[in-house]
A and B are shown apart, each in its own frame.
Chain A
């Protein structure tokens, strides 16, 4: 039996499965819009309440997870508006890091090689830099990086949930990844 049918029949194990699969993602996604982790947790909780209420009307036109994520985004945006959170505009140009290039636009020196991801994540400074960089990203960039790179969603899923064109999503992802790369380079400098 499909998960959605089990949920509609009040199957608690099915709900637990759904919750365990998506709750952390909802909190991370909400963080793109609200000011801190505890508010994001509240948004995720509100999202579950809304999901439970709306289950009978879920028509299956989108995947369950994208439907849930869209509810979370709407709730997070409403909450951010209520809290008066100010975030940078998404069309803001990325830091072009001019000092890496010479006058004609060639690299002054070859970028350093980073360690492998597992080794990088053992470095507290790296984890702090990632968190801080994510915090500073404009909301759509952060939502896209969160869903594509942290949660492993496909480009199509992200475009659906954020109602973005493929090209717009790609540009914002490129910028977000660029900022995170720069944040890691700033921490690792020449010693990685």
Chain B
């Protein structure tokens, strides 16, 4: 399964693995554990304690990011080994690292190093301030801006998933206040994302610039296929553009909704979510166009000749 209509999409980090789709893919477990062992040796020996059935890892964001990255890299490697060749990659939020690994721009180990440096730079920069993120479904961007402005909340809209589905980042107390205001305004669903870093917001500019200084020595290569930016929907065509995107990805707002539209306009019609959840597939329904979305779990049923179940 290859060609100019196939895209791999890489999710942000998740803590939920109990019903992960890789379990249905032959060979996934060995791919994952090989990558897990490599990562443990490189960045954190305790990663070997991870288990899909119930992890004994501390529930900190850094470990969570490592595991999702490892999972996504193992999944996309398996797909490529099985004959899937994407024409385009997109990395949703922290999914950018797995996206770059898959396209051949960075090594697996460099991806781990980028995750560690980004996390440490951002945590150092925000210090003792309390931040958070939340998702809101059912209100328009204008409605959310109005709620933020009228209460003078220190919050920014940092991603649009669909016409009425948004992610916000900002000061923790204000995030909680916005969630209450959004419910009163008629939001169909609100969720505290329970993270401490306000990703993709200007609050992270200082940390992102520090991160930029720290990654200058890391090797980044030309990508083997097109990679689309979730910030401005341009293509990341060379190492310097990719390096800048890695920095900007931390403190510029994303637009996943617009990214999907541009991918469709670029003749992408088959999307495969390379990750442990089906979050990107779920919110794919709100874009008009003729396309198909697959999770890792739904692939073997359709392409059993490539990946025996």
Q: Do A and B come from one complex?
A: no
Residues of A within 8 A of B (CB): none
